[in-house]
Structure formats: C-alpha cells, structure tokens
Amino acid sequence: MSIIQDAQLPSTRPYLIRALYEWCTENGFTPYVAVKVDASVQVPREHVQGGEIVLNISFDATSSLKLGNDFIEFKARFGGLARDIMVPVHRVMAVYARENGQGMAFPVNDGDASAPLSAVPGQPLEPLAGSDDDGVPPPVAPRPALKRVK
C-alpha cells in the first residue's frame, strides 16, 4: 500500500477557480481573473499593465469558455476585435466578484524569467475582456481589494 505524496497530488487551483466562477455566476456577480502575464499567457499584450491583466470571464463577456485543469481558454472582444485568450491556470493570481471583491488570491511563482512585455508600470488594472459590441470596454471600477474570508 503506497501513500500519495503531496507533490504528486494535482493542484487545487483549477477546482477553486471553477467553484468561485460558479458561485459568482449563480449569485449574479461578474467573475474576474487577475493574471500575472509571462510568455506562456496568450492575451493582447497592448492591454497588459504592470505585467498583469484582469479579465472578465462572465458568460456575457466570453464565448467558448473552458475552465480546464491546465488552462483557461475563451474568446473575447478587445476594442471590437475578437481575440483568442489562453491563460495557464498557474498564472492566475486571483478570481473574484467585480461587485464586492469576494474571491481568492493565489501565489504565482515568478522564478521563470520571461520575455519583456509591453506594459506601463504603476498603472491601475482595469478589466478588459468582454467589451461592448461598439468596441468600448464597459465602465467598471478599478479592481477592488480582495477580502479575506475565514
């Protein structure tokens, strides 16, 4: 009889992301993910700020959303243009509800030096995925601080 070591267990992160996505959706909140961008993250680089991007992953803002164990994949409009988005789950820093900031933050290991990004350091993060059909992102408040729930 062998004992499974913690290192062999799959990450709980994708399961928690899916659970919080479902919680947001069922309660009428807008689910957002904050992502630490590196070369493995497929997002429009012109919308990356300070090496991070916040994405609206609601049903209305995305199409073909897949919250997998390894990747979050979907299509979204940025400035009126449909774009394919692919985010490795290990790059997700947080998942939360836009309306009240409730959610969960995750550590992201930056030990991997990645290619330089076109980002403006010090700029506040604004959710960008899921802009209106006229190409203008919906008006939203800056990313709220996450609340620790015990």
**pTM of the predicted model as reported, rounded to 2 decimal places:** 0.71
Inside any domain, residue 101: yes
Give pLDDT tens digits for 67-113: 999 999 999 999 889 999 999 999 999 999 999 999 999 999 875 43
Average pLDDT for the chain: 79
* 70 CB neighbour count, 10 Å cutoff: 12
Inside any domain, residue 145: no
23 or 5: which carries more pLDDT confidence?
23
Tell me the residue range of the domain where 81 lies.
9-105
Phi and psi at 95, nearest 5°, equal: -130, 130
Cα 60-22-86 angle, rounded to 5 deg: 60
- Is there a contact between 69 and 10 (Cβ–Cβ < 8 Å)? yes
Domain count, the chain: 1
